[in-house]
Amino acid sequence: MVVDLNRCQSYGQCVYAAPAVFRFHGEEALEYDYAPAAGTRREVERAAAACPVQAIALSRATEPAPSVTEPAPLVPERVR
Ligand code: SF4
């Protein structure tokens, strides 16, 4: 997980959603665990969804696995 601190506006929604992972250091400096425990996955997902500026990017380990495969191309590739 990565938080884009240039985008973060210190709204604090992530702190409320996942207090074990996100916290403020001082009044506006956000701190967070770069590799949160697996047990906090749902909280981190809620925090990412709650962030008003979409500053929280989930890593692959916390993203749901894709459930569909890519569709086959509609036009076959030409053979040279
Ligand atoms: S919810 Fe988003 S904008 Fe607010 S403190 Fe967390 S990362 Fe920053």
| Burial (CB count <10 Å: 0-12, 13-18, 19+), residue 48 | buried
Lowest mean pLDDT among 27-36, 37-46, 67-76: 67-76
Nearest to 16 by CA among 8, 24, 27: 24
Alpha-carbon distance of 51 to 46, in angstroms, equals 9
Residue 61 predicted with pLDDT over 90? no
Answer whether 59 contacts ligand 1 (Cβ < 6 A).
no
Answer whether 57 contacts ligand 1 (Cβ < 6 A).
no
Answer whether 54 contacts ligand 1 (Cβ < 6 A).
no
Residue 62 predicted with pLDDT over 50? no
Alpha-carbon distance of 56 to 44, in angstroms, equals 9
* Mean pLDDT, residues 69-79: 61
Which atom number of ligand 1 is nearest to the Cα of residue 13?
1
- Does the domain at 2-62 match CATH 3.30.70.20? Answer given as yes
* Mean pLDDT, residues 60-79: 57
Q: Write down the domain spans for the chain.
A: 2-62
User: Using one digit for the tens of pLDDT, what is the confidence trace for 19-34?
Assistant: 999 999 988 899 999 9
Answer whether 18 contacts ligand 1 (Cβ < 6 A).
no
What is the reported pLDDT for 31?
Answer: 96
